[in-house]
Structure 1
């Protein structure tokens, strides 16, 4: 059943191009050393929609281009070919605006790139090259608060001082007086139920739910929306041309008031859409699936699906007891589609605020959880380092555990090319898997596996866009029994049915009847594993996946 594999041929040419060597036709042995088996329809096509494979880049830690050991925009630009090679079709950059902190989640000036990361011209060059590679770029929109050192806050304090003294305010001062959440007495601040701090030596207080240095915007003020619109317009204008925003901490616009937050998000979504009808917005609503479902009423494209993330997410739970818990994956996948039915689901496994999901002694399981993520109807989000199996098991003392989730990427263990220093207060993490360069040359590596997953999603649109079809077959295969090792999912896309068949066993082959279907592709955990189609029987090696379509 094996045919010459266009996807593998294109992958080979990408690899050699990235290495700067002359492309040669891969040998038969090189074709055989692959985690992917493509039987039909193997051409990779990137559709012009927002079902994509996103790669979150924590800018400080990813790639250094100028030798100062801090990641920067030019470093990312230099690595875009590698990102493309790995099958990613979108990147999310954590905050890049001028700030006093390494993480930049407190903007001092939204209209300046932080000088440690580069310049506005560097951002333009990054976006231009990304678009030439069919990679979308979204920025982190931290629109619930600013830095205490932002000139907007300074203007607001001056205006509020005049207001409290009964002095006449100019039109501009009147606007700034309403920009932040000020409380004119501690009693009023305390009654709000939110965190608050005194505004310097002034006799009033401001809301600061994240940190003393991060005063919250007042979303009852039209001026707040005016300023947010100015930021969105600036970066989405053709001169820069980003494709959308990841919206930070959307529950905190009006803390504890979800209906009002939905209204805010509706307005922000409209701002993006006015600039680009195909803009992409994804919100961070760290909450339950029922709350996330409510936020989709805003018509923002996506919200990160936290029930899928971490060691207690439904994906990790489904592999914790071999094949016995595969039903958790099926039910979790159904819930994902149901709760996000008005938009694009956005599940993920970890991010810059969470411990990396890792199975340091079980590398095949480390791969498998990303395959389960990749088989979902969704836009996937991988965190930088997921592609090479980075971990975050060593935690620093005190309140700095987040720093362990943001350590530097391993590019080359010999030359340390492009390598960054760790973020402040981080401790070194064990390097369980080899560096990028070594994994790139290993067809069974974590990097090769992540690439294979992304390639499958790019080749077969039904994976990311097809809707699960209820039926006895799925229900029966999803029972939590060790006797049934293969989970059979039916996806419907453009009025055609496809099957995704997943062997949840980590030790045993498993077989099933596939009458009425023919194979499209297979994904193996190791290159020397096998996927066999004989007559109407499919046999999957441990943790292998097969894709089929109706005959």
Structure 2
């Protein structure tokens, strides 16, 4: 009887401890988070992706640097809404900023420092301060899937010391290759370590809690001490392998769910956007309280292909699919990035089509990202170095990027396509980007509105209404290489309630007044004043009388 009493007492204590532990876990879980919608600042942000090495060289060593970005901040956003000499972006994504043996920086040697070729930590703090004074948020590339093989962590791991298990090792070479048929097990000192991308990028072992805790400390360091606003996370789907299963594993999804809880408990305003280069059905798993959102690669190719081929059927289907997959607009949209041939190259060197692509990017749902130089029709196709060439600021020697021979030769179109020249032309691609970026950052209907796709009697006309609270706007794109002046759009199944409306175009001031919305309504474009030019976009404010 005494033994039973003791056992019962021990069981009671264990259950009590388990209950307390459960409560503590609940307090740190995603379900317990209740942060206000106002903290989701990225919904009103247009980001600009910068490769520091190629943006602007302030010290004439042929490489771009942090002080070069500071010198050019007024180009991005001068903080004055009444000027028209800036792009008007309000977010910057900086590609890797930390010390690295490579030109691109995606193999890091020290996660707490700045690449000395780019400047110092004090320079970076100054950049953050200058950006925040202009209302620009700053996110940095977080390359945590792997480090450089020159990182002290890996060197210690090779030696077999306390950090041996910070990376994955095997005494024999496992009998499988990587997701795209590449070698992933690399020999070192009679053992093999795992590196998905190449031998110089050994994967960190996130099955080891010490590695996870170190990464959490790094997030706190960059957010709390350095004051960045968020992170673009590289190679999200490769985080934790399960044997030969090396992408999108259950362990990876569980790890990101845990980090999301940590992130939001630290501060709900921290933003994390993930690179998951997969289909939309795989990407959406990471947007379910694992990351704030991810880049939509399928949407990117849908926009480019639609514009290139003058046909938006697949784009229309993709938008409808994304509406069913994601919460409204909670994905990153873009035309191209640093891993893809540039959009002007893909679209076929056509400025009008490039304007249409920009219009789609900046009016469709999503959180848009513009790759540096996209606004001035920079060229670039693989190899990677050639899609990351120096920015074309002017027609001066070296394109105004530097007074010294740059790290990579400029594109041969820089004499015609450069910032200085295109800023002076109100009809240039640069002016088009500036106009649409500013429209989006100042207008919640465009940035956050829900979209309703409309039908037209003309197969070249792609139209939709965006609605936010009690405001509505109609966006019409002409995918044809010809002007259109006689077409109609069905608005009977739109978000508009029955009544009488005026439609006022925001750029050319044309109007369509007294439109009755009913169960069989059509909006007719029948005269010269309502023509839509080739590859043009019209945007109407909708006012109920």
CA contact (8 A) 2:178 2:196 kept: no
Q: SS at the partner of 2:462? A: strand
CA contact (8 A) 1:262 1:295 kept: yes
CA distance in structure 1 between the partners assigned to 2:125 and 2:227 by the alignment: 8
CA distance in structure 1 between the partners assigned to 2:248 and 2:350 by the alignment: 43
Distance apart, 1:187 and its partner CA = 4.0
Question: Is residue 230 from structure 1 mapped to residue 217 from structure 2 by the alignment?
Answer: yes
CA distance in structure 2 between the partners assigned to 1:268 and 1:288 by the alignment: 23
Distance apart, 1:261 and its partner CA = 2.1
Shift in CA distance, 71/130, structure 1 to aligned 2, threshold 3 Å: same
CA distance in structure 2 between the partners assigned to 1:360 and 1:104 by the alignment: 30
Distance apart, 1:263 and its partner CA = 2.0
Distance apart, 1:77 and its partner CA = 1.2
CA distance in structure 1 between the partners assigned to 2:479 and 2:178 by the alignment: 52
> Which residue is 2:377 aligned to?
389
Give 1:522's match in structure 2, choosing from 506, 526, 535: 506
Shift in CA distance, 326/189, structure 1 to aligned 2, threshold 3 Å: closer
CA contact (8 A) 1:389 1:446 kept: yes
Distance apart, 1:81 and its partner CA = 1.3
Distance apart, 1:188 and its partner CA = 6.5
Give 2:510's match in structure 1, choosing from 528, 532, 541: 532
Q: Please list every run of 5 or more consecutive structure 1 residues that lacks an aligned counterpart in the other structure.
A: 1-45, 161-172, 396-400, 524-529
Shift in CA distance, 492/210, structure 1 to aligned 2, threshold 3 Å: same
> Which residue is 1:67 aligned to?
60
Question: Is residue 131 from structure 1 mapped to residue 132 from structure 2 by the alignment?
Answer: yes
Shift in CA distance, 361/92, structure 1 to aligned 2, threshold 3 Å: closer
Matches within 5 A, 1:396-545: 401-414=383-396, 416-419=399-402, 423=407, 428-431=411-414, 433-469=416-452, 474=454, 476-477=455-456, 483-511=458-486, 512=488, 516-519=500-503, 521-523=505-507, 532-535=510-513, 536=515, 539-542=530-533, 543-545=536-538
Q: SS at the partner of 2:313? A: helix
> Which residue is 1:82 aligned to?
75
Question: Is residue 219 from structure 1 mapped to residue 206 from structure 2 by the alignment?
Answer: yes
Greater CA drift, 257-266 or 208-217: 257-266
Deviations, residues 38-61 of structure 1 (Å, cap 9, x unaligned):
xxxxxxxx9971121000001111
Shift in CA distance, 261/421, structure 1 to aligned 2, threshold 3 Å: farther
Shift in CA distance, 198/146, structure 1 to aligned 2, threshold 3 Å: same
Shift in CA distance, 97/207, structure 1 to aligned 2, threshold 3 Å: same
Shift in CA distance, 276/81, structure 1 to aligned 2, threshold 3 Å: farther
Q: SS at the partner of 1:99? A: coil
CA distance in structure 2 between the partners assigned to 1:490 and 1:145 by the alignment: 44
> Which residue is 1:152 aligned to?
153
Q: Bigger radius of gyration, 1 or 2?
A: 2
> Which residue is 1:307 aligned to?
298
Question: Is residue 357 from structure 1 mapped to residue 307 from structure 2 by the alignment?
Answer: no
Q: Please list every run of 5 or more consecutive structure 2 residues that lacks an aligned counterpart in the other structure.
A: 1-37, 78-85, 241-245, 492-498, 516-523
Shift in CA distance, 356/217, structure 1 to aligned 2, threshold 3 Å: same
Shift in CA distance, 134/360, structure 1 to aligned 2, threshold 3 Å: same
CA distance in structure 1 between the partners assigned to 2:314 and 2:175 by the alignment: 46
Q: Which has the higher contact order (CA 8 A, sep 6+)?
A: 1
Deviations, residues 283-307 of structure 1 (Å, cap 9, x unaligned):
0000111111222124411111001
Matches within 5 A, 1:281-300: 281-300=272-291
Distance apart, 1:157 and its partner CA = 1.8
Q: SS at the partner of 1:143? A: coil
CA contact (8 A) 1:410 1:436 kept: yes
CA distance in structure 2 between the partners assigned to 1:131 and 1:314 by the alignment: 34
Give 1:316's match in structure 2, choosing from 304, 318, 322: 304
> Which residue is 2:250 aligned to?
259
CA contact (8 A) 1:389 1:433 kept: no
CA contact (8 A) 2:157 2:164 kept: yes
* TM-score normalised by structure 1 residue count: 0.78
Distance apart, 1:375 and its partner CA = 0.9
* TM-score normalised by structure 2 residue count: 0.79
Shift in CA distance, 497/402, structure 1 to aligned 2, threshold 3 Å: same
Deviations, residues 166-223 of structure 1 (Å, cap 9, x unaligned):
xxxxxxx1xx1221011121247779997334453x1211111111111001111101
CA contact (8 A) 1:305 1:336 kept: no
Distance apart, 1:544 and its partner CA = 2.5
Question: Is residue 374 from structure 1 mapped to residue 362 from structure 2 by the alignment?
Answer: yes
Shift in CA distance, 273/81, structure 1 to aligned 2, threshold 3 Å: farther
CA contact (8 A) 1:389 1:432 kept: no
Distance apart, 1:343 and its partner CA = 6.8
Distance apart, 1:502 and its partner CA = 2.4
Distance apart, 1:457 and its partner CA = 0.4
CA contact (8 A) 1:110 1:231 kept: yes
CA distance in structure 2 between the partners assigned to 1:520 and 1:47 by the alignment: 32
Question: Is residue 107 from structure 1 mapped to residue 108 from structure 2 by the alignment?
Answer: yes
Q: SS at the partner of 2:99? A: strand
Q: SS at the partner of 2:339? A: coil
CA distance in structure 2 between the partners assigned to 1:146 and 1:321 by the alignment: 41
CA distance in structure 1 between the partners assigned to 2:416 and 2:284 by the alignment: 37
Q: SS at the partner of 1:213? A: coil
Distance apart, 1:121 and its partner CA = 0.4
